[in-house]
């Protein structure tokens, strides 16, 4: 009889094979990004920091960590069908410090905040920290990110500003903050007497990039960590044509008293890990530049 874990891994490998047959960019991180990984399992619990965890979560264990795993190398599904990447490593290490058991729950991006509000999830891993979300989510900011517009090297469009997108066919992941920005730019195009932007949305970053591969779009607008990874891995398919700073990635918690206290506990655990060098080690493991780090892990500080 096939076990659930083995079934998941078989499905993951079949998915990889199917994607290769379609010549699609895979969200699988090269082993070169994962050399010298820290031993998360060996991290001991800190009784003083464990005491910061609200009783509600200690009694509820394992706590549910929702993740939309489609931005390699930050968060993705590996070849064995497991949630992997920089953010999963980081929160797993912090949970060890707090003496907490966690379980990763895969979810679509647009279900993360509603799921947190409905108590289906306890933690969100992760999403952009925007002030407009502070009424629904308490963020621990852990990584600075930007937005990159990507095109095929065959087309090589020239973009000096977002206004140059007028009249183009673009694609974005569904439910992301840049979608609103794209609609605002399109409205400005029309107001200036230019053609509107033709905007298509897709369930995740991989499918958004696929739209470029199959020429359904002229450019795609995605988070820079995913853009950088795919451009480096597939330089014949993808080229950055425009970049701008956006905000920070944050680990999300509830806005009630328990959620805020849990956020504080995780923040203190992450600060301890940073002082021990683990944060820098995990950044290096996944090939993320040190300049993008947020080693003080501020609460609700997106640096927009």
Query: What CATH number is associated with residue 33?
Result: 3.40.190.10
pLDDT at 51: 97
Question: Does residue 9 sit in the same domain as residue 118?
Answer: yes
Secondary structure (3-state) at 62 = coil
> How many degrees, rounded to 5, is the angle at CA 84 between CA 83 and CA 90?
115
Question: Does residue 13 sit in the same domain as residue 102?
Answer: yes
- Token pair of 304 as six digits: 């927009």
**Domain assignment present for 64:** yes
**Domain assignment present for 39:** yes
Q: Going by DSSP bridges, is the β-strand pair 169-173/219-223 parallel, antiparallel, or unpaired?
A: parallel
Secondary structure (3-state) at 29 = coil
pLDDT at 59: 95
Instruction: Give yes or no for a contact between 122 and 65, defined as CB atoms under 8 angstroms apart.
Output: yes
Among the candidates 246, 261, 284, a domain finishes at: 246
Instruction: Give yes or no for a contact between 294 and 141, defined as CB atoms under 8 angstroms apart.
Output: yes
Question: Does residue 47 sit in the same domain as residue 142?
Answer: yes
**Domain assignment present for 304:** no
Question: 93 lies in which domain range?
Answer: 4-146+248-292
Q: Which residues in the chain land under pLDDT 50?
A: 1-35
CA torsion, points 8, 10, 15, 21, in degrees to nearest 10? 180
CA dist., res. 299 & res. 131, Å (int):
11
Interval 60-110: pLDDT, tens: 999 999 999 988 889 999 989 999 999 999 999 999 999 999 999 999 888
Question: Does residue 188 sit in the same domain as residue 97?
Answer: no
Question: Does residue 79 sit in the same domain as residue 140?
Answer: yes
CA dist., res. 192 & res. 227, Å (int):
30
Helices and strands counted in the chain (H then E): 10, 11
The structural domain count of the chain equals 2
Which residue is listed with tokens 């694609």? 171
CA torsion, points 65, 68, 72, 78, in degrees to nearest 10? 70
Interval 257-276: pLDDT, tens: 999 999 999 999 999 999 99
- Token pair of 177 as six digits: 């903050």
Name the β-bridge partners of 202. 173
CA torsion, points 99, 105, 106, 109, in degrees to nearest 10? -80
- Token pair of 94 as six digits: 């912090």
Question: Does residue 130 sit in the same domain as residue 201?
Answer: no
Question: Does residue 46 sit in the same domain as residue 155?
Answer: no
Indicate the angle between helix axes 278-285 and 86-98, nearest 10 degrees.
160
Cβ-count burial of 298 within 10 angstroms (0-12 exposed, 13-18 middle, 19+ buried)?
middle
pTM score, whole prediction: 0.76
Secondary structure (3-state) at 251 = strand
CA dist., res. 204 & res. 224, Å (int):
14
CA dist., res. 31 & res. 29, Å (int):
6
**Domain assignment present for 299:** no
Question: Does residue 132 sit in the same domain as residue 180?
Answer: no
């Amino acid at each position: 009889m096939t076990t659930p874990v083995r079934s998941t891994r078989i499905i993951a490998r079949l998915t990889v094979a199917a994607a290769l047959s379609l010549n699609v960019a895979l969200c699988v991180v090269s082993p070169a990004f994962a050399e010298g990984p820290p031993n998360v399992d060996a991290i001991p619990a800190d009784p003083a920091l464990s005491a910061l965890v609200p009783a509600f979560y200690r009694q509820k264990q394992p706590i549910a960590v929702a993740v939309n795993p489609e931005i390699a190398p930050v968060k993705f599904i590996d070849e064995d069908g497991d949630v992997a990447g920089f953010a999963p490593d980081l929160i797993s290490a912090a949970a060890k410090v707090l003496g907490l058991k966690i379980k990763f729950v895969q979810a679509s991006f647009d279900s993360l905040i509603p799921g947190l509000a409905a108590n289906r999830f306890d933690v969100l891993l992760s999403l952009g920290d925007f002030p407009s979300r502070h009424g629904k989510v308490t963020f621990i900011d852990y990584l600075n990110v930007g937005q990159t517009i990507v095109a095929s090297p065959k087309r090589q469009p020239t973009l000096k500003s977002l206004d140059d997108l007028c009249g183009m066919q673009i694609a974005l992941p569904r439910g992301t903050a840049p979608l609103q920005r794209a609609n605002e730019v399109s409205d400005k195009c029309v107001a200036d007497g230019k053609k509107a932007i033709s905007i298509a949305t897709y369930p995740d970053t991989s499918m958004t990039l696929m739209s470029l591969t199959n020429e359904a779009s002229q450019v795609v607008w995605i988070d820079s960590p995913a853009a950088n990874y795919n451009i480096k891995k597939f330089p014949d398919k993808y080229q950055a044509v425009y970049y701008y700073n956006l905000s920070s990635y944050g680990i999300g918690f509830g806005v009630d008293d328990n959620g805020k206290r849990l956020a504080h506990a995780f923040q203190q655990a992450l600060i301890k890990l940073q002082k021990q060098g683990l944060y820098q080690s995990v950044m290096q493991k996944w090939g993320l530049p040190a300049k993008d780090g947020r080693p003080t892990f501020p609460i609700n500080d997106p640096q927009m």
